[in-house]
């Protein structure tokens, strides 16, 4: 998901809509905006679908007055995939003592089932099936003297990955979990305005200046044009999601000061070193494989070409929930550039293999178009474990790499050769020159390694075996 917040500007809703539009790649199922206006109180609009279809008209923006606002773009993760109901769309907003608050959450709360049971047994009334709603109930029950105190108390009970943007009538709050699994950045707008966003690309779109990352385990409270910083959690070594670098973030964002685009190029260069092959043309699976393919081409000296063309009007295939639609999606979205491919030995570069459905279709299209060979190169290690921290991977059994060896996958995908970057190679490409520290890894890489930095308590209760 993507989260965004702004304070100290006129017509906050416009800024939030723009910020969310820039974060649309993080979630396309639904979106919502909450604002507060001194005269008329809180206002909220939540809609299914894209920001550009819902939050650009004066009709909707006009119902969201105020100088402070937050927003959320959603895609459903573990548990309730593809069943987004409007009641699950964030931000969640609640009135309770001290004036109430609205909360937008990116990540996944790993003990949400247990928390929900406990809260319900004590009388909380849940509106949604979302794990994120726990936060607002925990805040409402807290005896803390201020809303930030209550936020602190609530988040100390929550386990998992969370970046949160919240607001009261006058305060904008941003928090990252102690491991800092999901991103969150702070930006400045002109003299008095501040913004919080999942990624820097959302600051660029509103002309805000990037100030810094919100630190893992940090809570920032912005009011009256000032930013205060708190450290509610016991300090720990951070474990940022390495897959944000590989796939999830936009290439024009920076993460921890590193350009995502440059990192992806470096991944491609590393991949060319680790898995060279004689061929005529390096082609990306667009758009997710493009920077890595450019890097592969540069390091190998093999020319780069757009052998597959993407229809710009389709979204990311994996975000469409049902199997049937996903299968169709590939052809709706991608087509081969026959003239370029015919007779050539192709190196096909993509960011990841998940279920293998996209890859199989693409390989078929490329062979149909007359390619002589297809060498598949993947910019991440085999995805053999599900993510429980806010990225939508399917159950373990549906992950190709969980059930097949590399050679079995090659056969299943029907390609001439198949190679994944090594975990150490990926770490080198994100700037860890000595590779992965096995005793204390610098990133979360659980979907590749099975080394889960936060115990997925609800999933273990449901029988998931670590
Ligand atoms: P596959 O066809 O193997 O299921 O999906 C691979 C494609 O889905 C890649 O091109 C990649 O861009 C995209 N993808 C990346 N991350 C994820 C993820 O976490 N879940 C899913 N389902 N697809 C992803
Ligand atoms: Fe990121 Fe993978 Fe960890 Fe999920 S399991 S947070 S996708 S590195
Ligand atoms: Mg892709």
The 8-class DSSP code of residue 156 comes to: H
Cβ atoms of 173 and 222 within 8 Å: the answer is yes
Residue nearest to atom 4 of ligand 2 (CA): 387
Ligand 1 atom, smallest distance to 361 CA: 2
3-class state of residue 307 by DSSP: coil
Residue 315 CB contacts under 8 Å (≥ 6 apart), including other chains: 28
3-class state of residue 228 by DSSP: strand
Average pLDDT over residues 384-401: 93
Residue 416 CB contacts under 8 Å (≥ 6 apart), including other chains: 345, 373, 374, 375
Q: What percent of the chain has pLDDT above 70? A: 95
Cβ atoms of 33 and 22 within 8 Å: the answer is no
Tokens 């209760």, residue? 461
Average pLDDT over residues 108-122: 97
- Pick the residue with more confidence: 293 or 85? 293
288 is in an annotated binding site: yes
Residue 94 forms beta bridges with which residues? 101
In the sheet where 30-37 sits, what is the strand order?
Answer: 41-48, 30-37, 68-74, 2-7, 193-197, 185-189, 209-213
Looking at the domain 2-238, which fold is it? 3.60.20
> Would strands 68-74 and 219-223 be described as parallel, antiparallel, or unpaired?
unpaired
User: At residue 101, does pLDDT exceed 70?
Assistant: yes
Reported CATH class of domain 259-453: alpha beta
How far, in Å, are 109, 316, 373 from residue 162 at the CA level?
7, 23, 44
- State ipTM: 0.92
Residue-level pLDDT at 358: 86
Q: Which of 248, 267, 334, 354 to mutate to test the pocket of ligand 1 (most atoms within 8 A of CB)?
A: 354
Residue nearest to atom 4 of ligand 1 (CA): 355
Average pLDDT over residues 151-164: 97
Residue 249 Cβ inside 6 Å of ligand 1? The answer reads no
Cβ atoms of 19 and 205 within 8 Å: the answer is yes
Average pLDDT over residues 164-191: 97
Instruction: Give 318 Cα–ligand 1 centroid separation in angstroms.
Output: 6
- Pick the residue with more confidence: 96 or 271? 271
Average pLDDT over residues 267-296: 97
Average pLDDT over residues 428-447: 97
Q: Clarify whether 283 is annotated catalytic.
A: no
Pocket of ligand 2 (CB under 6 A): 181, 241-243, 387, 389, 391, 444-447
3-class state of residue 376 by DSSP: strand
Distance CA 361, CA 158 (A): 41
Cβ atoms of 71 and 32 within 8 Å: the answer is yes
Q: What percent of the chain has pLDDT above 90? A: 87
| Strand ranges, E, within 112-159 | none
Residue 320 Cβ inside 6 Å of ligand 1? The answer reads no
Residue 108 Cβ inside 6 Å of ligand 1? The answer reads no
Per mean pLDDT, which range of 64-73, 101-110, 358-367 is the poorest? 358-367
User: At residue 466, does pLDDT exceed 90?
Assistant: no
Average pLDDT over residues 20-30: 96
Please, where in the chain does CATH 3.40.50.2020 lie?
259-453
Instruction: Give 285 Cα–ligand 3 centroid separation in angstroms.
Output: 6
User: At residue 81, does pLDDT exceed 70?
Assistant: no
How far, in Å, are 27, 33, 128 from residue 30 at the CA level?
7, 11, 14
Alpha carbon 13 to its chain centroid, in Å, reads: 22
Mean pLDDT of the chain: 94
Residue 14 Cβ inside 6 Å of ligand 1? The answer reads no
Q: What is the dihedral of CA 201, 203, 206, 208, to 10 degrees?
A: -140
Other Cβ atoms closer than 10 A to 450: 13
| Strand ranges, E, within 206-253 | 209-213, 219-223, 226-230, 240-241
Token couple for 17: 């809509």
Residue nearest to atom 2 of ligand 2 (CA): 447
Residue-level pLDDT at 82: 55
241 is in an annotated binding site: yes
Q: Which of 1, 198, 242 to mutate to test the pocket of ligand 2 (most atoms within 8 A of CB)?
A: 242
170 is in an annotated binding site: no
Distance CA 382, CA 397 (A): 14
In the sheet where 101-109 sits, what is the strand order?
Answer: 92-94, 101-109, 160-167, 172-176, 219-223, 226-230
Residue 391 Cβ inside 6 Å of ligand 1? The answer reads yes
User: At residue 369, does pLDDT exceed 50?
Assistant: yes
Please, where in the chain does CATH 3.60.20.10 lie?
2-238
Q: Which of 321, 352, 385 to mutate to test the pocket of ligand 1 (most atoms within 8 A of CB)?
A: 352
387 is in an annotated binding site: yes
Ligand 1 atom, smallest distance to 394 CA: 22
Of the pLDDT bands very low, low, confident and very high (cuts 50, 70, 90), residue 386 is very high
User: At residue 175, does pLDDT exceed 80?
Assistant: yes
Distance CA 451, CA 441 (A): 9
Q: What is the dihedral of CA 296, 301, 303, 306, to 10 degrees?
A: 10
Cβ atoms of 225 and 8 within 8 Å: the answer is yes
Residue-level pLDDT at 255: 97
Instruction: Give 156 Cα–ligand 2 centroid separation in angstroms.
Output: 22
Residue 393 Cβ inside 6 Å of ligand 1? The answer reads yes
The 8-class DSSP code of residue 442 comes to: S
Residue 23 CB contacts under 8 Å (≥ 6 apart), including other chains: 2, 3, 4, 73, 197, 198, 199, 201, 202
Cβ atoms of 19 and 194 within 8 Å: the answer is no
Instruction: Give 76 Cα–ligand 2 centroid separation in angstroms.
Output: 15
Residue-level pLDDT at 79: 45
């Amino acid at each position: 998901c993507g989260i965004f917040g702004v304070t100290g500007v006129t017509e906050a809703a416009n800024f939030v809509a723009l910020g969310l539009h820039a974060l649309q790649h993080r979630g396309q199922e639904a979106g919502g905006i909450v604002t507060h206006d001194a005269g008329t109180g809180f206002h909220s609009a939540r809609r299914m679908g894209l920001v550009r279809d819902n939050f650009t008209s004066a009709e909707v923006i006009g119902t969201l007055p105020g100088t402070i606002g937050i927003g959320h773009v959603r895609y459903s993760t573990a548990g309730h995939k593809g069943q987004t109901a409007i009641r699950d769309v964030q931000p969640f907003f609640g009135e309770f003592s001290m004036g109430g608050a609205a909360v937008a959450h990116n990540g996944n709360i790993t003990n949400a089932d247990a928390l929900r049971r406990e809260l319900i047994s004590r009388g909380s009334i849940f509106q949604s099936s979302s794990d994120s709603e726990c936060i607002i109930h925990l805040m409402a029950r807290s005896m803390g003297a201020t809303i930030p105190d209550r936020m602190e108390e609530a988040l100390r009970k929550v386990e998992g990955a969370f970046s949160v943007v919240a607001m009261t009538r006058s305060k904008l709050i941003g928090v990252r979990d102690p491991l800092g699994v999901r991103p969150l950045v702070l930006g400045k707008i002109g003299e008095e305005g501040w913004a919080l966003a999942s990624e820097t690309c959302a600051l660029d779109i509103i002309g805000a200046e990037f100030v810094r990352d919100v630190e893992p385990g940090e809570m920032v409270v912005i009011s009256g044009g000032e930013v205060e910083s708190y450290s509610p959690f016991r300090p720990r070594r951070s474990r940022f999601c390495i897959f944000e670098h590989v796939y999830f973030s936009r290439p024009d964002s920076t993460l921890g000061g590193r350009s995502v685009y440059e990192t992806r190029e470096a991944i491609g260069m590393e991949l060319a070193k680790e898995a060279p092959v004689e061929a005529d043309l390096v082609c990306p699976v667009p758009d997710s494989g493009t920077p890595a393919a450019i890097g592969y081409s540069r390091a190998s000296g093999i020319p780069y070409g757009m052998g597959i063309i993407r229809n710009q009007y389709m979204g990311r295939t994996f975000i469409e929930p049902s199997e049937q639609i996903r299968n169709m999606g590939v052809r709706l979205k991608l087509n081969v550039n026959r003239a370029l491919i015919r007779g050539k030995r192709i190196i096909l570069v993509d960011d990841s293999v998940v279920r293998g459905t996209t890859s199989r279709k693409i390989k078929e299209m490329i062979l149909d178009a007359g390619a002589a060979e297809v060498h598949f190169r993947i910019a991440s290690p085999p995805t053999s474990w599900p993510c429980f921290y806010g990225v939508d991977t399917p159950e373990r059994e549906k992950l190709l790499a969980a059930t097949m060896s590399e050679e079995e996958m090659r056969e299943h995908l029907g390609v001439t050769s198949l190679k994944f970057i090594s975990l150490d190679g990926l770490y080198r490409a994100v700037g860890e020159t000595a590779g992965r520290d096995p005793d204390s890894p610098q990133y979360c890489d659980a979907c590749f390694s099975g080394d889960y930095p936060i115990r997925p308590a609800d999933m273990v209760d449901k029988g998931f075996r670590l």
